[in-house]
Amino acid sequence: MKIICPKSVLAKGVNIVLKAVPSKTTMPILECILIDASNGKIKLTANDMELGIETEIEGEIIHDGIVALNAKIFSEIVRKLPDSDVIIDTEDGVQTIITCEKAKFNIAFQSGEDFSYLPDVEKDDHITISEFMLKEVIRQTIFSIADNDTNRMMTGELFQIEDNILKVVSLDGHRISIRKIELKESYEPKKVIVPGKTLVEISKIVGGEAEKNVDISFTKNHIMFEFDKTIVVSRLIEGEYFKIDQMLSSDYETKVRINKKELLDCIDRATLMIKEGDKKPIIINIGDEAMQLKIKSQIGSMNEDISIDKEGKDLLIGFNPKFLIDALRVIDDEEVDLYFMNAKAPCFIKDESQSYIYLILPVNFNAASV
């Protein structure tokens, strides 16, 4: 194989597929990026068997062929090459010669015969969403997946399509994040659980432009994202997702409208009083025109009043401050509404149209210590 392509193009392509190269594996072939120039196009592919990424790059094919190169070494070489045309040549059959201006690298290659290409995914069952929307919805929900594997379902996000609505849900046992997005067209109902890792990597690769679209296709076991000459295929998490509708309630005894930034900054300051690993709650005391936030630990104590609009009863309730911070950070509204039932029931942060719902469980605290 012998190909020529500009360094910037090659570097961009390599960075995209690099996201599917596992950091640890016992199979050397998985540590490789495959360069496939056998069909008149130059395609880069990486595949860790859970997640696979393929991207097409512009370039000139002098001799067609396929070669697998160690991803770490190859990507670092490409990154440090001068900004000029790069020639990748495996013609001598022993080594890959990478030449750019006067720099010349020799590295080993593998034949690529053992390489696992991406699984075929039929495109007949698919939806379209803008890059911007996809990236946003991931950012707004990904923080509340569980990061360990004790319950595999919790490490993924539910993507549920009904008519022209895409609903994305994540939960970790202490909180639930729900976002609803209006799509341009209506689709058949569909429910899949997408691994969190896939979504994290997708949101790194997708450009995020509002005018560009991502096509998302589904099969029984896979989800495929297509955008900008790039294909990402991921396994789905099998099983039936948690029934979240029965956890949601629209009753409340207390409703608070508050400036989001003020609340977020205040909780952020309060966390200074907590050492890492310490589980001190922030205590919220909701009164008529203000709510007081209070935290107390070995380090010291902090309290602050924030003006609110209140409906309903007064309430004293405690939360893990991190959970409030995570949710507030991804809400773009200037004012937010908080709904409470009592000190033992979850709090809901949601807008009127319920385009977002963040459910957060309160924590017990010793009322005497407040």
Nearer to its own copies among residue 75 and residue 160 (C-beta): 75
Size of the site for its own copies (CB under 8 A): 28
Nearer to its own copies among residue 109 and residue 356 (C-beta): 109
Nearest C-alpha neighbor of 101 from the set 7, 9, 3, 1: 7
Only one residue has tokens 């991190």, namely 322
The nearest distance, CB 256 to its own copies, in angstroms, is 16
Residue 309 CB contacts under 8 Å (≥ 6 apart), including other chains: 256, 257, 258
CA dihedral 33, 237, 136, 191 (to 10 degrees): 130
131-139 vs 196-205: helix crossing angle, rounded to 10 = 130
Site string for its own copies, 223-262 (x = CB under 8 A): ----------------------------------------
Measured between alpha carbons, how far is 349 from 329 in angstroms, rounded to an integer?
12
Taking a C-beta distance cutoff of 8 angstroms, is the pair 202, 134 a contact? yes
The nearest distance, CB 306 to its own copies, in angstroms, is 7
Nearer to its own copies among residue 63 and residue 104 (C-beta): 104
Measured between alpha carbons, how far is 250 from 353 in angstroms, rounded to an integer?
12
- DSSP H helical ranges for 87-230: 131-139, 196-205
Measured between alpha carbons, how far is 117 from 102 in angstroms, rounded to an integer?
34
- 85-89 and 66-70 as β-strands: parallel, antiparallel, unpaired? unpaired
Nearer to its own copies among residue 55 and residue 75 (C-beta): 75
Measured between alpha carbons, how far is 55 from 76 in angstroms, rounded to an integer?
18
Residue 340 CB contacts under 8 Å (≥ 6 apart), including other chains: 252, 253, 254, 255, 256, 286, 315, 317, 347
Q: Applying CB under 8 A, which of residues 49, 247, 272, 367 lies at the interface with its own copies?
A: 272
Q: Applying CB under 8 A, which of residues 4, 9, 62, 73 lies at the interface with its own copies?
A: 73
The nearest distance, CB 347 to its own copies, in angstroms, is 22
The nearest distance, CB 105 to its own copies, in angstroms, is 5
Site string for its own copies, 86-105 (x = CB under 8 A): ---------x------xxxx
Site string for its own copies, 295-334 (x = CB under 8 A): ----xxxxxxxx----------------------------
Q: Which stretch binds its own copies (CB under 8 A): 32-40, 193-201, 230-238, 263-271?
A: 263-271
- State yes or no: residue 30 binds its own copies (CB under 8 A): no
Q: Applying CB under 8 A, which of residues 94, 107, 210, 247 lies at the interface with its own copies?
A: 107
Q: Applying CB under 8 A, which of residues 77, 169, 199, 263 lies at the interface with its own copies?
A: 77
- State yes or no: residue 106 binds its own copies (CB under 8 A): yes
Measured between alpha carbons, how far is 46 from 11 in angstroms, rounded to an integer?
14
Measured between alpha carbons, how far is 339 from 356 in angstroms, rounded to an integer?
13
Measured between alpha carbons, how far is 199 from 139 in angstroms, rounded to an integer?
9
Q: Which stretch binds its own copies (CB under 8 A): 80-88, 238-246, 318-326, 350-358?
A: 80-88
The nearest distance, CB 52 to its own copies, in angstroms, is 26
- Nearest-5° angle of CA 193, CA 324, CA 279? 100
The nearest distance, CB 265 to its own copies, in angstroms, is 7
Nearer to its own copies among residue 105 and residue 323 (C-beta): 105
Q: Which stretch binds its own copies (CB under 8 A): 52-60, 78-86, 160-168, 229-237?
A: 78-86
Taking a C-beta distance cutoff of 8 angstroms, is the pair 179, 187 a contact? no
The nearest distance, CB 346 to its own copies, in angstroms, is 27
Nearer to its own copies among residue 70 and residue 320 (C-beta): 70
Residues that bind its own copies (CB under 8 A): 73, 76-77, 80-82, 95, 102-108, 265-266, 268-269, 272-273, 299-306
